[in-house]
Structure 1
């Protein structure tokens, strides 16, 4: 707990907790809003996918650009724009003017601002905690993620059931504001490393695309890269599918859907604890076993119709999948040694 004696780290941790907590609210609300507007699961999926467009297109050049510019200012601007965008959605709800096009456009913006915030936030962490404490810092941030995943969905479900869409989106907007304040109150001195030979934006982007080849430098790195794509796809696709399935097919109400997603948070917490007990196994066999266990959770969800069974399936699925994410980082260390 020594890091929590560092005021700057506490401010960043609270801001991160708020941001993830708010994301868990909109994670439920947005698909349900589209289902209410259109009754179409595929349109709900298309709208949600809009939040992934910017990270897909910009993820490679953003890192270089953030490294050359003030990270604190970038993070503040990103969170303020996210706050304004989410606040705009609340206004559209109150005016009864919200439609899927406004939602899609808003998610495009939120996807971009979320990417810039994530990259700039991560780049600031070493300056706040020091490189020797990075592992502990990221562990605490993972803890904030697990807490938010556990509490956020069920609370969002109850708020959505009791107070409506505007209340959920308002809470999400306020979490962006809290995160903005957290970055604003940071007092550490940022290392200003600027590249005096900046490339034009187009050349910089093309140059960053060439970095893709390092993701497929050899057989092992290709395997790891593909598996990371699969893991991220499964996380997004299954979460969205569960929301649509429980709402559209099983006719669960909002708080029940929140309970299902909160079960994933419990699985995440238990998975992190169990991983410390079994990390002595070969990462290949451990990863394969975890993917099988995660698949069994999906099957349980598909063949169940009662809330507690679906919650248990989500618990198994996300618990094993969260462990698989961590396990996939183990071969990276081995590859690093091979390169050296």
Structure 2
């Protein structure tokens, strides 16, 4: 840990994770809250998440090949500044009382296009600036910090919208995004080898070909598509789950949002001190199975504190899976391919998320929110149980995959 704290690159990325993570959680909370209060419709909130996630996927498809040839530092700064400008315009419209559901959708699309640039750039920057032996500690510490902001963000936002206008959340969001861009400007320049400037299509195909040559990663990506199709339905359902199903308040909505982040925080802290798993596959998929069961149980409880506990377990298990998954890619993907492979990974795993968000709102109106949670949980558990026995996922640890 002392080595990491002496690394200037890591320190600036660490600060960026705090500011960018807090900015993301505030924006997620406030956009969903405003959309639901404006329309009182779970379907409309589902559309909000659909537009946001769909634009994120489009951004990943277009930007993937270019991340390897552009300065990671400049990409991260660009992501933060464009978001700050978009929220500034939104704040002016809110001040003039000109906000409509279409305005929220447009903002979600803009944010969805630029926000995904930060993650693959920062992951690639970390992999290039930190020795491989410290990657687990670095990723775990970054995830711990990020989940702390995600835990505190919804709580603070829930308190703010309870006692004052949500415009103040937008103003605070603009400030921290501008600060994040300023902080990233101090990142040292990397002397990494950049890929040749081949046509976009050729470079994107190179990222896809990595998966074709590695059945383990291809199967894992397909599996994550199925898992995230179900998990993508969770976020837009939390508002009607709290307000309609549990008859709760804005503060309790903030609590249940923080529950996921709190669980991910616990998982990240655990991974910071844990030794590398001797059976990587069992660790990754058993954690996701438990997370799916937790979501199913949320559909049969009417107690807010039990629901928060269950979603905390969900976040804890998801954190263990995500950190192991990131380390797996960082330690096995060649440096010159890492940026585009990270992007294709995001595309493969997240393509199902907007579809899940879009479908969840309609399902709630037809079969009820409790049954939707049950379906989501089992849709995560069953593919993971099958994956444990797939030939393409026979590997147990990173060394076997590398060979």
> What's the TM-score once normalised by structure 1's chain length?
0.86
1:208-259 deviation per Cα after TM superposition (whole angstroms, max 9, x unaligned): 1464354354653333112222344444321222233213433322111111
Hey, what's the Cα distance between the residues in 2 that align with 1:120 and 1:274? 25
Q: Which residue of 1 aligns with 2:219?
A: 223
Q: Which residue of 1 aligns with 2:139?
A: 138
Q: Find 2:291's aligned residue among 285, 289, 294.
A: 294
Q: Which residue of 2 aligns with 1:174?
A: 175
Hey, what's the Cα distance between the residues in 2 that align with 1:277 and 1:139? 10
1:6 aligns with 2:44: no
Q: Which residue of 1 aligns with 2:122?
A: 121
Which deviates the most, 102-111 or 286-295? 286-295
1:58-88 deviation per Cα after TM superposition (whole angstroms, max 9, x unaligned): 3244232122223322322221111010111
Hey, what's the Cα distance between the residues in 2 that align with 1:300 and 1:57? 34
Which deviates the most, 65-74 or 206-215? 206-215
1:249 aligns with 2:214: no
Does the CA contact (< 8 Å) of 1:231 and 1:325 recur in 2? no
The offset of 1:25, in angstroms, is: 1.4
1:190 aligns with 2:190: yes
1:28-74 deviation per Cα after TM superposition (whole angstroms, max 9, x unaligned): 22112111122221111111222222331232442321222233223
Q: Which residue of 2 aligns with 1:264?
A: 260
The 1:7–1:339 alpha-carbon spacing in structure 2 relative to 1, beyond 3 Å, is: closer
Does the CA contact (< 8 Å) of 2:42 and 2:236 recur in 1? no
The 1:266–1:79 alpha-carbon spacing in structure 2 relative to 1, beyond 3 Å, is: closer
1:78-127 deviation per Cα after TM superposition (whole angstroms, max 9, x unaligned): 21111010111111111111112222121211112112232333333345
Q: Which residue of 2 aligns with 1:317?
A: 314
Does the CA contact (< 8 Å) of 1:300 and 1:309 recur in 2? no
Q: How does 1:77-92 map to 2 (within 5 A)?
A: 77-92=78-93
Hey, what's the Cα distance between the residues in 1 that align with 2:51 and 2:77? 23
Q: Which residue of 1 aligns with 2:38?
A: 37
The offset of 1:273, in angstroms, is: 5.0
Does the CA contact (< 8 Å) of 1:250 and 1:305 recur in 2? yes
Aligned with 1:303: secondary structure? Answer: coil
1:48 aligns with 2:68: no
1:310-332 deviation per Cα after TM superposition (whole angstroms, max 9, x unaligned): 11121122222222334556877
Hey, what's the Cα distance between the residues in 2 that align with 1:75 and 1:111? 14
Does the CA contact (< 8 Å) of 2:158 and 2:250 recur in 1? yes
Aligned with 1:150: secondary structure? Answer: helix
Gaps of 5+ in 2: 333-396
Hey, what's the Cα distance between the residues in 2 that align with 1:211 and 1:13? 27
Alignment RMSD? 2.9
Hey, what's the Cα distance between the residues in 1 that align with 2:327 and 2:55? 28
Count the aligned residue pairs.
335
> What's the TM-score once normalised by structure 2's chain length?
0.73
Q: Which residue of 2 aligns with 1:208?
A: 204
The offset of 1:129, in angstroms, is: 4.0
